[in-house]
Amino acid sequence: MKILALLRHAKSTWDDPVARDFDRPLNKRGQKAARTVGGEMRSLGLGFDRVIASPALRVIETLADIEQSYGKNLGQVYDQRLYLASPATLIDLIHETGDETQSLLVVGHNPGLERLAIMLTQGSDGPLRSELECKYPTATLAEIALKVESWGEVAEGTGTLTRFVRPRDLDPELGPDEDSY
């Protein structure tokens, strides 16, 4: 069995007149949400053998805030292919992971992460999956237990959603608003 964690970047700002989408920073709420989720990751004892992330500024800042409350550096590797990646690209990146890795964290963007999580957990149900199908908010961590021995076997329906950690579940002030998607 392999463990795949998918982390969507925290809430970014649209108020900063940056030249490119790639360079959008986090807003204050996003910074707080990332620190909150990082603290929860620490309290749950989550650890990762490998971390790959989009090099977009909002992902870099999300990881910096996560690490601040998680208490250690995640040792992430940035891969340009993760920027706004489709589920197919995400699967390709997962398939490239060496089998010595038991737990992989992928940090990136929607809609790719949400679509990938839904695809991998196709055929399973339960309250967590229902929440996933409803909405995958910013700074949310989805953990999927994969019934595979090799990352190359990861495909539709091979996983079960075991955690769905949303900032609003940890701090009501980080609750949903009309633009938290």
Count of Cβ atoms closer than 10 Å to residue 120 Cβ: 26
In a domain, residue 48? The reply is: yes
In a domain, residue 18? The reply is: no
In a domain, residue 160? The reply is: yes
- Predicted confidence at residue 169, as pLDDT, reads 94
pLDDT tens, residue order, the chain (181 aa): 999 999 999 999 887 676 689 999 999 999 999 999 999 999 999 999 999 999 999 999 999 999 999 999 999 999 999 999 999 999 999 999 999 999 999 999 999 999 999 999 998 888 899 999 999 999 999 999 999 999 999 999 999 999 999 999 999 889 875 444 4
Domain of residue 88, CATH code: 3.40.50.1240
Q: What is the bridge-based pairing of β-strands 141-146 and 159-165?
A: antiparallel
In a domain, residue 163? The reply is: yes
In a domain, residue 94? The reply is: yes
Residue 127: CB partners within 8 Å, gap ≥ 6?
A: none
In a domain, residue 179? The reply is: no
- Please list the alpha-helical segments (H only) found in the chain: 28-44, 57-70, 87-95, 112-120, 127-134, 167-170
In a domain, residue 17? The reply is: no
In a domain, residue 178? The reply is: no
- Token look-up 């603290």 returns 39
Domain of residue 72: give its range.
Answer: 2-12+23-173
- Please list the alpha-helical segments (H only) found in 45-171: 57-70, 87-95, 112-120, 127-134, 167-170
* Structural domain count of the chain: 1
Cα 108 from Cα 90, distance rounded (Å): 10
Predicted model pTM: 0.94
Sheet holding 50-53, edge to edge: 77-78, 50-53, 103-108, 2-8, 141-146, 159-165
